[in-house]
Amino acid sequence: MQTNYPPIIGIKELSLLLKRTEAVVKRDRSDKDRKHTLPTGKRINNTKNPLWVTEDVINWLRQQPDDTDAPSDAPRRMGAPTKRERIEKRKAAEVSK
């Protein structure tokens, strides 16, 4: 497969491939709960930033689930549940007992 990217890429090129900003890639790389959102990079000779093999990144992208066909749920409301929601939740818990 032919790409316009070099065989080994850094954070800048990875952010372009993933259509994210460099800051988001760096944040995801450092956050242990978000590491799954990036392909695994390789550190070479104790370099500060990891490098990625372009072909591995493209293969990783192909393996990601396509959520464009997933039905979108209603947007979640911010804040505490309403009194009605709390009562419904309590009733549902009592019925399931």
Q: Is the dihedral of CA 29, 32, 34, 38 positive or negative?
A: positive
pLDDT class of 83 with cuts at 50, 70, 90: very high
Task: Decide if 53 is inside a domain.
Answer: yes
**pLDDT of res. 40:** 87
Read off the CATH number of the domain in which 45 is found.
1.10.1660
Find, among 5, 2, 3, the residue nearest to 52 by Cα.
5
DSSP state of 9: E
| CA distances for 21 relative to 7, 57, 75, 77, angstroms | 21, 16, 25, 27
Domain total in the chain: 1
Task: Decide if 96 is inside a domain.
Answer: no
**pLDDT of res. 95:** 85
Tens of pLDDT, residue by residue over 24-73, are 999 998 888 888 889 988 888 877 888 999 999 999 999 988 766 656 66
Task: Decide if 81 is inside a domain.
Answer: no
CA distance 27 to 34: 8
- Structural domain for 59, as ranges: 8-65
Tens of pLDDT, residue by residue over 5-27, are 688 899 999 999 999 999 999 99
CA distance 70 to 68: 6
Task: Decide if 39 is inside a domain.
Answer: yes
